[in-house]
Amino acid sequence: PHQPIRRICCIGAGYVGVPSSAVIASKCPDIDVTVVDISAAKVAAWNSDRHPLYEPGLSELISQTRGVNLHFSCDMIGPLEGADLVFICVNTPTKAYGLGQGKAADLTTLEAAARHIVRTASQPKIVVEKSTVPVRAAESICTILRANERPGVRHTVLSNPEFLAEGSAVQDLLRPDRVLIGGERTDEGQEAVQRLVSVYARWVPKERLVTMNLWSSELSKLVANAMLAQRISSINAASAICEATGADVSEVALAVGADSRIGPRFLCASLGFGGSCFQKDVLNFGVPCLNLPEVARYWESVVTLNQYQKYRFADKIIVDLFNTVKGKRIAVLGFAFKKDTGDTRESPAIDVCRRLIDEGALLRVYDPKVASSQIRLDLNQPEPDEASDAAVLTVRLLSCEGAHAVVICTEWSEFSQLDFGRIFASMAKPAFVFDGRNVLDHEALLRIGFRVRAVGKRL
Ligand code: NAD
Ligand code: UGA
């Protein structure tokens, strides 16, 4: 029998690191979990009651475990030194400079994490890549570790990509479709795999614990995200055809999704997908295909279609508002990239709002979970001194007064509960609704008197 894991250190206190660590801490009371981050402000926020991100069910988990067997620290030495197993959960954004700019992954944080680990480690550790990385990143980590290991200390690298989605992270972690663990086919590698398997086996059924070789595990994560993104681009491409022909994309999705080989989920046409990962991972997947240009072009088209969908939506607003939005007030509902999160990374709302601002529109943006300072930052808007003529106003309570259009960018459930009769009464006429998520009752809006535009259907 192998040595049980007693102490875990997680590097990166973000959307992946914290929910994963909190779930492990709650399911494994005998394991001590410390999450470390270079951002002292983030660590302080996790140690307070004002957490830096919103994720349903996470605060409850943290209040049960923090100070018991879950800790947050910016000490990058002690918790790493004491850990048997280290999860690397740092961000791996797209490179914004130099070679591979705009496509390749920026692996600076990953390498920094590997160097932190090896600098302190006097005991052998299992180093687990949880961040999403290009295939064979584990080899780079391994090489850095080997070159810096102390004599007699040999670390093992595993790949354990994370499949949680924001807004449902805790549920996804508690009941994952599968947990993937990749390791080298050596005795050490396989022992490390089994030690990590026994952590998850506390709450994940055995048949969902899938082990494989390192490179398959790394690549599976990229393929999964690329295929999810491709599915959305496929239904969004269909939505453009629906609008041109009079077909209804919701009906098409229903019919297509009823085929058990295709399945009904993840077929909602929208103003485009967002989030920190889909675009990055699709492009990342394309990069190793540098010598396979057809393959790279195929995946790039998923991103191209997504850009097209965002601008198609924004341009429809401009065209339908009689080809000018200059000086017109437009109420934007929702700014996060999806509901149940406050995350705005790559949110399609950003592209849509920027396009409208460029055309001279005066936006009022409301999101239940995004701070107005974040909205201003994403839209490059300074704090307004004169509320009346600012390009972007963020309001806690929606005011659509005088607006020419209401634009839905995020599918927050509360938006379908709004009193659209009152909203209509307060708006400029003709009053438009552009539903970028197909979440409103379009027939009811038409009866009120709205001109309604949705994605992939004519109304
Ligand atoms: P994030 O930005 O929310 O968190 C990453 C954290 O790492 C930040 O707090 C940052 O300060 C910290 N960090 C960076 N360099 C560090 C270093 N050298 N030492 C210590 N801390 C450091 O990112 P995220 O959304 O949690 O994503 C992390 C990884 O997981 C990415 O590779 C992403 O692709 C992948 N992933 C994300 C999701 C998701 O839904 N967000 C889901 C699955 C996988
Ligand atoms: C996605 C994957 O679903 C996770 O499995 C993966 O772990 C994660 O990326 C990651 O690697 O980061 P996430 O981006 O958090 O999770 O959220 P999704 O639910 O996948 O939504 C992504 C975007 O697609 C959102 O903007 C969403 O509104 C949009 N979407 C989703 C649609 O437009 N239509 C759909 O039918 C589904």
| Bridge partner list, 330 | 363, 405
pTM across the whole model: 0.96
- With a 6 Å cutoff on the Cβ, whether 16 touches ligand 1 is yes
- With a 6 Å cutoff on the Cβ, whether 232 touches ligand 2 is yes
275-306: per-residue pLDDT in tens? 999 999 998 877 666 688 888 899 999 999 99
Tokens representing 130 are: 């949880």
- With a 6 Å cutoff on the Cβ, whether 37 touches ligand 1 is yes
- CA 35 to CA 350: how far, in whole Å? 31
Cα–Cα distances (Å) from 427 to 332, 399, 409, 421, 449, in that order, read 14, 10, 19, 10, 11
**Chain mean pLDDT for the chain:** 94
Residues belonging to the binding site for NAD(+) are 12-17, 37, 42, 90-94, 131-132, 166, 277-280, 345
Tell whether the model's pLDDT for residue 55 goes beyond 90.
yes
pLDDT value of residue 263: 97
- CA 55 to CA 49: how far, in whole Å? 14
29-54: per-residue pLDDT in tens? 999 999 999 999 999 999 999 999 99
Tell whether the model's pLDDT for residue 386 goes beyond 70.
no
Please indicate whether residue 288 or residue 342 has the higher confidence score (pLDDT).
Answer: 342
Q: Which residue has the tokens 């601002």?
A: 357
pLDDT value of residue 382: 80
Would residue 277 show up in a list of annotated catalytic residues for this protein? yes
Tell whether the model's pLDDT for residue 72 goes beyond 80.
yes
- CA 304 to CA 309: how far, in whole Å? 9
Q: Please report which ligand is nearest the Cα atom of 12.
A: 1
Tokens representing 257 are: 């999704």
Tell whether the model's pLDDT for residue 78 goes beyond 80.
yes
> How many angstroms separate the alpha carbon of residue 164 from the centre of ligand 2?
9
- Collapsing DSSP to helix, strand or coil, 406 comes out as strand
- With a 6 Å cutoff on the Cβ, whether 20 touches ligand 1 is no
Q: Which residue has the tokens 């990342």?
A: 284
pLDDT value of residue 223: 95
| Percent of the chain residues past pLDDT 70, beyond the cut | 95
- CA 113 to CA 118: how far, in whole Å? 9
| Percent of the chain residues past pLDDT 90, beyond the cut | 86
Q: Please report which ligand is nearest the Cα atom of 220.
A: 2
**Beta-sheet strands, E only, within 95-185:** 126-129, 156-159, 179-183
Tell whether the model's pLDDT for residue 388 goes beyond 80.
no
Shortest-distance Cα residue to atom 20 of ligand 2: 165
- How far, rounded to the nearest angstrom, does the alpha carbon of residue 113 sit from its chain's CA centroid? 21
Shortest-distance Cα residue to atom 2 of ligand 1: 91
Tokens representing 83 are: 């850990």
Q: Which of 10, 268, 277, 353 is catalytic?
A: 277
Shortest-distance Cα residue to atom 28 of ligand 1: 91
Span 416-427, average pLDDT: 92
